[in-house]
Structures are given as structure tokens and as C-alpha cells.
């Protein structure tokens, strides 16, 4: 434009030179609005002139239109200035500068309000012909400096990624049409960069380095009210460090050459030096466990919290990862999408299932449900902080950049089965003092801790032999156990006793176990201990033994003394007369033996020297038996019964003379190891003897045997009469009966004595079978005499005869049939004569035989006589049968 003007001027000058030039002096059309104290320059051009190329200029002014003109300065006259201005000219405050031959500029370094007025630029004529205008006028308006720039002070430190607002109040008092612009600048040590300028025409221009950011929206202008302009820089980065400035400028628009913006005053203020704190510096990652000591049991839920702190937390996009050891478990991505790495775990089932959620600002909760022992270890939380740089990346998403990455310190998590804990006390509740007494041991579980819900207790009982028992080393045996489900598992050596109930293992309360031996044997002496196990439900639902504790041992032993039995017999009812009832009681006292059963033998003997008979027996199982010696007719009269725990009664009704003698109990104690087993003999004892002794106060009897002829011929009849006589209080014949038996001792063929015949007290006759061909009959002659007839005597009938009688009478005192003592007669010798006269019938033998027969006869007679004299007549044949001996063994 300048060049064009110049060419035009030259063209015009040449044209003028030639013919008709008319001078043009030009200043800016004005009015010029300037600010007091600011420099002012007013240009003045001259065209279309003739004469020298270099023109002179003179400047004048007047404060108002009516006032006189004051000369200000001239390009050729140093003394041109009016005295009121000469000082300012001399100081250079007012000066004129030549720009070109035809262009000058009036300069006022600091314009004063007084300087306001009309200004003239005048050129002295160098033209040959005065033509055109030689001066031009412009108005200068001087306004006070009302521009105010007051920025808001910036914070000294700003976290990376956050926004900073550059707020600046730029105002001026509007008296003339002036315009404002505001510029923000960033000054670093080396450079000063324009960020953005707003105004003066309402447009925005950006500095080269910030153009992109502005285009992306990372920098935005907030038009202010009351002169406040705000520039917001989003997501600051460390490169945004520096000193921020606010520049307010006041402009005027001049209508020269189609308009021109003139800066009339400006003011720049520092807003403050900002330091952008990098995210890494403020980012903190902490892990906290929900429990003070993360000690977990399998199946529990592990909960860990990752707390992320940062001064610019809201500006950050976080990627949170939980690591167990080096292993990524789970990640929450920037976008909030959670990616779990547990599902890809090869050892599935052993690890818990992880989940991650955001529970608050910067709070990320990790939950691992159903932890396994594999889940134990160090847990760390890793955080990657991203900042959106704004704008769009090529991929379409935000342009993220990772500002920082940080890991928390590790939290150690322990997953282990917390074993239940308890105290065991084993104590005897029943302690045997002797064999066959019960033993009871109670195994008490107390102070149970950590037994999980649904946990159970089981018990195992063990027996150990006493030290030194049997000389060998101590041996232990498993008695039996109750498992978590309460099943009884017997030990092999104890299974029979456990099955029979002789030994029992029970749980009496949830926490008490008992061992009970019904009848403790000597082999049971030893040390007992219980081992209590805790059972927990496994993940599969079945019970698994988790721990066990063994009690101290309890010794079961007692002084082994031989069991002793003492039996005392006592007369309860005395039989002082025949037919009365005798009763005795036997009281048993047992020592050194627990529970026992008894067998009883009632025994008797006539005198202390005579044989012992067993009357009746009672087995420990209460089976009653009669002894073989007992008359079956009399069994109803005999009673033996248990009358107390340790007492037995024996009763004998209708006592007879034959019952006299000594009576006692022979008692044996028996034990059973267990019910159902056979009895084992422990010990036995005999009681003292109780005597049945009464005097016959009834009649007294005597017996005699008689034969009219004791020497008979063969085939004749021999008679022997057994006569009884009664004396004393003789009963009536109806109240009297005898039982009579005849006995025979043969002359030849041994000394055996055999019963020949008998008649009982009811008159029933019984003849015994004999070898002889003779016949026998018994004849009751009267009440008191019984005749034995031997018909057809033979040689074999020769021998000794006697009779035995038992009288029975009706006792006047008791009214019962009473047996009197047995009576035995003397003996009678019967001789069946040799048949001499038969031999005489044989003529040949007659003479010789006669002398031999007589001789032989006298020899036999002599022998018989000798035998009769030497025989022990006191000899009584034994009639007693041996009683069956009932020994129980
Ligand atoms: C801006 O400054 C001017 C002059 O100092 C004042 O009148 C105005 O209230 C200020 N604006 C604000 C928002 O402070
Ligand atoms: C203030 O802004 C104006 C207009 O943009 C510019 O000409 C001037 O140089 C700036 N002043 C400073 C000190 O940067
Ligand atoms: C899962 O964990 C394994 C082992 O630590 C690791 O190599 C892998 O990168 C992880 N995967 C994910 C998606 O984190
Ligand atoms: C079990 O309990 C006892 C007593 O309460 C205690 O001294 C002991 O340390 C506990 N043992 C365990 C493994 O907890
Ligand atoms: C009969 O005689 C035989 C042989 O001499 C003898 O064994 C038997 O005991 C006798 N019988 C009687 C009843 O005497």
C-alpha cells in the first residue's frame, strides 16, 4: 500500500511538474483518541508538490477552536516552539521525526490532558504556484487512563490433570468509543508464549503452541460479566508450569484507509507462578483388610480394600488391579469393565472366586469368596492413573496418557484351618475297689474354641497295661471309638464285650464321653485314656477330622485280695418234737468281690463222723434240685429259697427221727464277666452246723426174732417170726404200723446180705427175687408180729436171718405220723439138713456112706458152731444208699 502510494505520488508529481500540480497535506482524519500519559504520534504526509523533494513541516495546536494557535515544533526552525512548549520540545517529550522526504511524525512521549485539542500540520510552500491545501487538521482527544487489569491470583500448585481458570478483570471507563482486548500469556524461564487473545473486535486468536489445545476444547474462554474474562485450561500437564500473565489493552478504531486498530494503552499483570504437581507425586495406594489380621479359614470370604488417593483424583481415570503374589487376579479397567483372572485358573476349586467393585471415590473392594488354602499370600493393589489429554485420538477414543502407576504395600493373607481347641479332663466316676465292681470313666471336654458351626466331637478310648504287669513291656489296645457321626467302632479285642454290653462307650452330654465296665476284672486293671477328636464338615459335606487331643491317663487298679466268703447258719424254727418244722437261714457275707451269684447246697450228717448227705441244691440261676437221698414222698416238705440279697432259707416240715443230725449250707460265690456268659467259680464256704435233735417222747419199741425149728429137712417149711413190742405211752393199735424187712446172709457163696422180703406200713408185701427154688411169704399175725414162711426149703436157704422194723405212730403231741427209730433183730441160723435117708435108699452106698455122713455131719455141725461163736453179731448191714453227690464244678 505504501509502495502503491509512493508510485502514485511519483506519477502525480511528474504529472504536476509538467502541468498543474495542487499540493495535498494529509493527516489522519481523526479524531484521535489517546490516553493520558501514553505516547502519541500523528503522521503528516504531503503530496503533489513541486520544489525540493524534502519538505519541511510545522506543527501547531489550539486547545479549542476559538483559541489562538500555538506553534509546537518545526522541522527547520529550532526556535519555532511557543515558549509554553519549548521546554517539552527541548526535553524531547515533544519531537518531530522525519519518516520520508514528504512524511513526518509528531511525537508526544507522554500525552497530557492539556494536549487535547486541534492539531495542524503545515508545509511551507515550495511550489511555483500556490495551489492545493498547505495544512491539514486533526483533533486529539486525551482521555484519562482508566484501564484496569486485575487478575485473580492463581494457586501456586495445581495437580496434574486438573483445570486452572485464568480469571482477569479488564475494564475501562467508557467515555469515548474505545475497545478492549485481553491476552493471556505463559512465561517460562526462556520464553513468553501467548496463549490466547480475545478482542478487541470480539475475535479470538491463539498462540501457536496452544492452537491445537484450543481447537480440542482443552482451552476455553468464558466471556465474563463486569469485565471479567476467564480462560479455563483443562487437564493441565507438567508442561503447563510457568508464570501466567494477563494483558489488558485498550484500543481505538480509526477510519483511516478503511479502518485501523490503534492500541492506546495496555497493562500486563502477573497472575502467579503455577507449578503442576505430577500425579505420581500425589498418588497414593493403600490396602486395608476388613479384619485386623487377615487370618481366614477355608471357605471364608476375603475382603480387601484398595484406597486410592490423589490430589486430582476426580481428573484421573484409574485402572485398578489386585495381585496375589505376581499373579493378576482381577482388574477394573479405566472404563469400569472388570476382568477377572480367576476363572482361567487351572486349579479350579482350590481358589476362591474374586470380584471387584468400586465402593466410593478411590475405593475399590476386592472380595474373594470361598477362599482355599491356595489363596493365602501377599496381596497388592496396583493402580494406573490415566489422564485424558482431551481431543480425539486416531482410534476415536480419548487421548489418554498414563500419568502414574503405583503399587500398594502388600497385605499378607493367611488361609488356614483354624484348629479347634479344647481341654480334656478324664476322671473316674466309679472306681472299683474289688473284682466285679463297675468302673466308669468320664472324659470331659471343656473350653471348646474354634469348633466351627456343625463341628462334632468324637472319642477314642485306649487301654494300656500297667507298667511291669506280666513282666513284659506295656502294651496298648484300642477299646473303641465314637466317630463324628456317633458311630461306635469297636476295637478288635473289645468287640465281644462291647456287643454284649459288658463294656459300653457312650456320650452322655454333648461334651462328656463315658466308658463303663459293668464287672471289672483283674485283666481290666491298667491305664485308660481318651482321645477326643474334632470333626468339621468339609466342602463336600462329609465330616473330616481336624484335630485331636489325648487326655492324661487314669489308672484303674485295686488291691487284689482273694475274695472271701463267710456263711453263717442260724436256726429260725426249732423242731423239738417229731413232725415239727425245722427252719434255718444262711447269711452270706462276701468280701473282695463285687457283684456275685450264689449256689447253695444244704448238707447234713447224722453225727459229726458220719457221711455227708446233700439234701437239696439251688444253683446261681435259681434251679432247685433234690439230693438223691431224699425220699421222693417227702419232697413237698423241703423248701430252699433265697430270702434276701445274701440270705437263703431252708425249711424241713414234719421232722422225723431219721432227720436228726447236723445241717449246714455250703455256699459258692460265682461271677460272670458279662451277662450271658457262664458262671465262674470265685470262692466257696461252709456255714456252721445247726443240729436237729429232739428226744423221742413217744413210745419205745423192741424187736425179737424167733423160730420154732431152726433145723429143717429139705422140702419142708421153715418159719421165722418177727415180734415187736411197744412200751411206754403205747398208742392204740390203729395209730401204729410197722415196716418190716427180712434179711438173709447165705451160708455158702459169700458173705453178702440180701433183703428177702418186706412189708410196708400199709401192709404191702414184697418178696425179692432169689436164686433159691423155695418160695417165700410174709404173714401179718397181728399188729405186732410178722411171720416169714419159707416153703420147700433147700440147701441154699441155709444161713442167717434177721429182721429190721421201723415203727410209725400217730404222735399225740403233733398229730402227725411219726417215724420211730429203726430196730434190728438178732440173728437166727437156719439149717436145712442134708438128706441122709435118701442116700440110704441106695444099697451100695448105704454102709460106707453112713459113717462118712455122720462124720461129715458132725464136721459141718462143728464148723457152724464155730462160726456162730466167732461171728460179730454187732454187724449191721448198711441200708443207706449213697446220696447223689452234687458237686457243681
Ligand atoms: C472489575 O473492576 C472494576 C473496576 O475496578 C470493578 O468496578 C468491577 O466490579 C470489577 N469486576 C469484578 C467482577 O470484580
Ligand atoms: C499486550 O497485548 C497487546 C495486544 O495483543 C500486544 O501488542 C502487546 O505486546 C502485549 N503486551 C505485552 C507486555 O505482552
Ligand atoms: C492372568 O494371570 C496370569 C498369571 O499371573 C497372567 O500371566 C495373565 O496375564 C493374567 N491375565 C489377565 C487377563 O490378567
Ligand atoms: C489352646 O488353648 C490353650 C488354653 O486355652 C492355650 O494355652 C493354647 O495356646 C491354645 N492352643 C491353640 C493352638 O490355640
Ligand atoms: C444167684 O446166684 C448167682 C450165682 O451164684 C449170683 O451171682 C446171684 O447174685 C444170686 N442171686 C441172688 C438174688 O442171690
**Quick one: pLDDT band at residue 255, thresholds 50, 70, 90?**
confident
**Which residue has the least CA distance to atom 8 on ligand 5?**
771
Q: Does ligand 2 come within 6 angstroms of the Cβ of 149?
A: no
Check if the beta carbon of residue 603 is closer than 8 Å to that of residue 664. Answer: yes
Q: Which of 660, 680, 685, 684 is nearest to 670 (CA)?
A: 680
Percent of the chain residues past pLDDT 70, beyond the cut: 86
CATH class of 280-415: mainly beta
700-836 fold: Immunoglobulin-like (2.60.40)
**Quick one: pLDDT band at residue 628, thresholds 50, 70, 90?**
confident
Tell me which of 417, 418, 421, 548 to substitute to probe ligand 4's pocket, judged by most ligand atoms within 8 Å of the beta carbon. 421
Check if the beta carbon of residue 92 is closer than 8 Å to that of residue 30. Answer: no
Cα 315 to middle of ligand 3, angstroms: 28
- Phi, psi for residue 376 in degrees, rounded to 5: -70, 155
Greater confidence, 846 or 712?
712
Cα 150 to middle of ligand 1, angstroms: 8
The pTM (predicted TM-score) of the whole model is 0.48
Q: Does ligand 3 come within 6 angstroms of the Cβ of 266?
A: no
Tell me which of 169, 182, 250 to substitute to probe ligand 1's pocket, judged by most ligand atoms within 8 Å of the beta carbon. 169
Nearest atom in ligand 4 to the alpha carbon of residue 419 is 13
Task: Supply the pLDDT for residue 160.
Answer: 87
Whether the pLDDT of residue 540 is over 70: the answer is no
Q: Does ligand 2 come within 6 angstroms of the Cβ of 179?
A: no
Instruction: Specify the pairing of strand 711-712 against strand 828-832.
Output: parallel
Q: Does ligand 3 come within 6 angstroms of the Cβ of 327?
A: yes
Nearest atom in ligand 5 to the alpha carbon of residue 770 is 13
Which 3 state secondary structure label does DSSP give 189?
coil
**Quick one: pLDDT band at residue 596, thresholds 50, 70, 90?**
confident
421-556 fold: Immunoglobulin-like (2.60.40)
CA distance 688 to 667: 12
Q: Does ligand 2 come within 6 angstroms of the Cβ of 247?
A: yes
Cα 446 to middle of ligand 2, angstroms: 91
pLDDT tens, position by position, 370-426: 787 778 889 999 999 998 876 655 555 567 888 899 999 988 888 877 788 899 999
CA distance 724 to 740: 10
pLDDT tens, position by position, 62-107: 987 777 889 999 998 888 888 988 899 999 999 999 999 889 999 9
Nearest atom in ligand 5 to the alpha carbon of residue 749 is 5
Whether the pLDDT of residue 259 is over 90: the answer is no
Q: Does ligand 4 come within 6 angstroms of the Cβ of 771?
A: no
Tell me which of 320, 327, 337 to substitute to probe ligand 3's pocket, judged by most ligand atoms within 8 Å of the beta carbon. 327
Q: In whole numbers, what is the pLDDT of the chain averaged over residues?
A: 84
Q: Which of 717, 725, 868, 736 is nearest to 788 (CA)?
A: 717
Q: Tell me the average pLDDT across 845-872.
A: 59
Whether the pLDDT of residue 323 is over 70: the answer is yes
Cα 421 to middle of ligand 4, angstroms: 6
**Which residue has the least CA distance to atom 7 on ligand 3?**
327
**Which residue has the least CA distance to atom 12 on ligand 3?**
341
Cα 204 to middle of ligand 2, angstroms: 14
Could you tell me the three cell numbers for 492?
478288635
Burial zone of 526 (CB within 10 Å; 0-12 exposed, 13-18 middle, 19+ buried): buried
Kindly state the helix (H) or strand (E) to which residue 597 belongs, with its residue range: strand 597-605
Q: Does ligand 4 come within 6 angstroms of the Cβ of 421?
A: yes
Cα 230 to middle of ligand 1, angstroms: 14
Q: Which ligand is nearest to the CA of 448?
A: 4
Cα 168 to middle of ligand 1, angstroms: 10
Nearest atom in ligand 5 to the alpha carbon of residue 771 is 1
Domain 20-143 has CATH 2.60.40.2310: no
Cα dist. 661→582, 664, 809, 811 in Å?
A: 12, 10, 21, 20
Instruction: Specify the pairing of strand 512-517 against strand 439-449.
Output: antiparallel
**Which residue has the least CA distance to atom 4 on ligand 2?**
249
Q: Tell me the average pLDDT across 16-34.
A: 77
Residues within 6 Å of ligand 5 by CB = 749, 754, 769-771
- For the chain, where do the domains classified as CATH 2.60.40.10 start and end? 20-143, 148-277, 280-415, 421-556, 564-692, 700-836
> What is the number of H-type helices and E-type strands within the chain?
7, 62
Count how many residues are written for the chain. Answer: 889
Cα 226 to middle of ligand 1, angstroms: 6
pLDDT tens, position by position, 554-575: 999 988 888 889 999 999 998 8
Q: Does ligand 1 come within 6 angstroms of the Cβ of 169?
A: yes
Q: Tell me the average pLDDT across 642-670.
A: 90
Whether the pLDDT of residue 202 is over 80: the answer is yes
pLDDT tens, position by position, 694-726: 776 667 788 999 998 888 888 899 999 999 988
Could you tell me the three cell numbers for 11?
506519477
Q: Does ligand 3 come within 6 angstroms of the Cβ of 341?
A: yes
Tell me which of 419, 447, 449 to substitute to probe ligand 4's pocket, judged by most ligand atoms within 8 Å of the beta carbon. 449
**Which residue has the least CA distance to atom 7 on ligand 2?**
263
pLDDT tens, position by position, 862-873: 666 556 554 444
**Which residue has the least CA distance to atom 6 on ligand 4?**
421
**Which residue has the least CA distance to atom 7 on ligand 4?**
421
Burial zone of 799 (CB within 10 Å; 0-12 exposed, 13-18 middle, 19+ buried): buried
Cα 772 to middle of ligand 5, angstroms: 9
CATH class of 564-692: mainly beta
Kindly state the helix (H) or strand (E) to which residue 426 belongs, with its residue range: strand 421-430
Tell me which of 322, 328, 340 to substitute to probe ligand 3's pocket, judged by most ligand atoms within 8 Å of the beta carbon. 328
Cα 187 to middle of ligand 2, angstroms: 13
Cα 295 to middle of ligand 4, angstroms: 16
Cα 793 to middle of ligand 5, angstroms: 17
CA distance 635 to 334: 112
pLDDT tens, position by position, 45-64: 998 888 888 899 999 999 87
Candidate from 405-419, 492-506, 602-616, 711-725 with smallest mean pLDDT: 405-419
**Quick one: pLDDT band at residue 14, thresholds 50, 70, 90?**
very low
CATH superfamily ID and name for 148-277? Immunoglobulins (2.60.40.10)
Instruction: Specify the pairing of strand 765-767 against strand 736-746.
Output: unpaired
Percent of the chain residues past pLDDT 90, beyond the cut: 42
Amino acid at each position: 500500500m505504501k509502495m502503491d502510494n509512493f508510485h502514485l505520488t511519483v506519477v502525480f508529481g511528474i504529472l504536476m511538474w509538467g502541468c498543474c500540480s495542487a499540493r495535498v497535506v494529509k493527516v489522519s482524519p481523526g479524531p484521535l483518541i489517546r490516553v493520558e500519559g501514553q505516547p502519541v504520534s500523528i503522521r503528516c504526509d504531503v503530496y503533489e508538490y513541486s520544489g525540493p523533494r524534502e519538505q519541511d513541516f510545522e506543527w501547531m495546536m489550539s486547545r479549542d477552536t476559538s483559541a489562538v494557535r500555538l506553534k509546537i515544533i518545526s522541522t527547520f526552525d529550532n526556535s519555532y516552539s511557543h515558549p509554553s512548549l519549548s521546554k517539552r520540545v527541548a526535553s524531547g517529550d515533544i519531537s518531530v521525526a522525519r519518516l520520508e522526504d514528504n512524511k513526518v511524525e509528531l511525537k508526544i512521549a507522554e500525552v497530557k490532558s492539556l494536549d487535547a485539542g486541534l492539531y495542524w500540520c503545515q508545509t511551507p510552500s515550495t511550489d511555483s504556484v500556490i495551489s492545493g491545501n498547505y495544512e491539514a487538521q486533526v483533533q486529539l482527544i486525551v482521555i484519562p487512563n482508566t484501564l484496569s487489569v486485575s487478575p485473580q491470583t492463581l494457586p501456586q500448585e495445581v495437580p496434574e490433570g486438573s483445570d486452572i481458570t485464568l480469571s482477569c478483570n479488564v475494564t475501562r471507563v467508557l467515555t469515548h468509543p474505545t475497545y478492549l482486548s485481553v491476552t493471556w500469556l505463559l512465561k517460562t524461564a526462556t520464553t513468553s508464549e501467548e496463549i490466547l487473545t480475545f478482542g478487541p473486535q470480539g475475535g479470538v486468536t491463539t498462540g501457536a503452541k496452544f492452537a491445537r489445545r484450543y481447537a480440542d476444547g482443552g482451552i476455553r474462554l468464558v466471556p465474563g460479566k463486569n469485565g471479567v474474562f476467564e480462560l479455563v485450561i483443562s487437564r493441565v500437564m507438567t508442561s503447563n508450569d510457568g508464570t501466567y500473565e494477563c494483558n489488558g489493552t485498550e484500543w481505538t478504531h480509526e477510519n483511516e484507509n478503511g479502518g485501523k486498530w490503534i492500541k492506546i494503552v495496555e497493562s500486563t499483570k502477573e497472575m502467579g507462578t503455577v507449578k503442576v504437581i505430577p500425579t505420581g507425586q500425589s498418588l497414593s495406594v493403600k490396602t486395608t483388610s476388613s479384619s485386623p489380621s487377615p487370618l481366614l479359614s477355608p471357605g471364608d470370604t476375603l475382603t480387601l480394600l484398595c484406597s486410592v488417593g490423589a490430589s486430582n483424583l476426580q481428573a484421573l481415570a484409574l485402572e485398578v488391579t489386585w495381585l496375589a503374589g505376581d499373579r493378576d487376579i482381577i482388574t477394573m479397567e479405566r472404563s469400569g469393565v472388570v476382568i477377572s483372572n480367576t476363572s482361567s485358573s487351572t486349579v479350579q476349586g482350590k481358589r476362591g472366586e474374586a470380584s471387584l467393585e468400586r465402593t466410593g471415590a478411590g475405593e475399590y473392594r476386592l472380595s474373594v469368596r470361598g477362599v482355599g488354602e491356595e489363596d493365602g499370600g501377599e496381596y497388592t493393589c496396583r493402580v494406573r492413573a490415566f489422564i485424558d489429554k482431551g481431543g480425539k485420538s486416531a482410534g476415536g477414543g480419548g487421548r489418554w496418557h498414563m500419568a502414574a502407576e503405583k503399587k500398594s504395600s502388600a497385605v499378607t493373607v493367611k488361609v488356614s484351618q483354624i484348629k479347634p481347641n479344647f481341654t480334656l479332663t478324664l476322671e473316674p466316676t466309679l472306681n472299683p475297689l474289688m473284682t466285679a465292681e463297675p468302673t466308669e470313666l468320664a472324659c470331659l471336654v471343656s473350653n471348646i474354641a474354634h469348633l466351627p458351626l456343625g463341628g462334632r466331637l468324637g472319642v477314642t478310648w485306649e487301654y494300656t497295661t500297667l507298667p511291669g504287669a506280666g513282666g513284659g513291656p506295656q502294651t496298648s489296645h484300642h477299646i473303641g471309638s465314637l466317630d463324628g457321626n456317633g458311630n461306635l467302632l469297636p476295637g478288635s479285642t473289645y468287640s465281644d464285650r462291647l456287643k454284649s454290653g459288658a463294656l459300653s462307650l457312650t456320650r452322655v452330654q454333648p461334651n462328656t464321653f463315658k466308658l463303663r465296665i459293668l464287672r471289672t476284672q483283674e485283666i481290666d486293671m491298667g491305664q485308660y485314656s481318651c482321645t477326643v477328636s474334632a470333626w468339621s464338615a468339609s466342602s463336600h459335606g462329609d465330616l473330616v477330622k481336624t484335630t485331636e487331643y489325648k487326655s492324661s491317663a487314669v489308672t484303674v487298679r485295686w488291691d487284689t485280695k482273694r475274695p472271701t466268703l463267710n456263711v453263717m447258719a442260724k436256726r429260725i424254727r426249732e423242731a423239738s418234737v417229731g413232725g415239727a418244722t425245722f427252719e434255718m437261714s444262711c447269711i452270706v457275707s462276701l468280701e473282695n468281690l463285687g457283684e456275685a451269684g450264689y449256689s447253695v447246697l444244704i448238707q447234713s450228717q447224722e453225727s459229726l463222723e458220719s457221711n455227708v448227705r446233700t439234701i437239696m441244691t439251688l444253683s446261681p440261676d435259681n434251679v432247685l434240685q433234690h439230693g438223691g437221698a431224699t425220699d421222693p414222698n417227702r419232697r413237698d416238705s423241703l423248701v430252699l429259697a433265697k430270702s434276701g440279697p445274701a440270705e437263703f432259707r431252708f425249711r424241713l416240715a414234719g421232722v422225723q427221727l431219721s432227720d436228726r443230725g447236723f445241717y449246714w449250707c455250703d455256699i459258692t460265690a460265682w461271677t460272670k464277666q458279662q451277662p450271658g456268659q457262664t458262671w465262674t467259680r470265685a470262692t466257696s464256704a461252709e456255714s456252721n452246723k445247726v443240729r436237729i435233735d429232739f428226744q423221742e417222747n413217744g413210745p419205745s419199741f423192741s424187736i425179737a426174732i424167733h423160730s420154732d425149728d431152726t433145723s429143717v429137712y429139705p422140702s419142708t417149711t421153715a418159719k421165722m417170726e418177727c415180734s415187736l413190742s411197744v412200751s411206754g405211752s403205747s398208742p392204740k393199735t390203729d395209730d401204729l404200723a410197722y415196716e418190716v424187712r427180712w434179711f438173709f446172709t447165705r451160708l455158702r457163696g459169700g458173705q453178702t446180705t440180701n433183703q428177702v422180703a418186706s412189708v410196708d406200713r400199709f401192709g404191702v408185701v414184697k418178696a425179692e427175687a432169689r436164686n433159691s427154688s423155695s418160695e417165700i411169704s410174709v404173714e401179718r399175725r397181728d399188729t405186732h408180729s410178722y411171720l416169714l414162711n419159707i416153703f420147700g426149703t433147700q440147701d441154699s436157704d441155709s444161713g442167717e436171718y434177721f429182721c429190721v422194723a421201723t415203727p410209725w405212730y400217730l404222735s399225740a403231741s403233733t398229730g402227725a405220723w411219726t417215724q420211730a427209730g429203726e430196730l434190728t433183730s438178732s440173728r437166727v441160723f437156719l439149717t436145712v439138713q442134708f438128706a441122709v435117708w435118701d442116700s440110704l435108699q441106695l444099697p451100695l452106698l448105704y454102709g460106707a456112706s453112713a459113717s462118712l455122713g455122720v462124720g461129715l455131719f458132725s464136721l459141718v455141725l462143728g464148723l457152724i458152731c464155730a462160726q456162730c461163736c466167732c461171728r460179730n453179731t454187732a454187724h449191721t448191714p448198711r441200708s443207706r444208699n449213697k446220696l447223689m453227690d452234687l458237686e457243681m464244678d
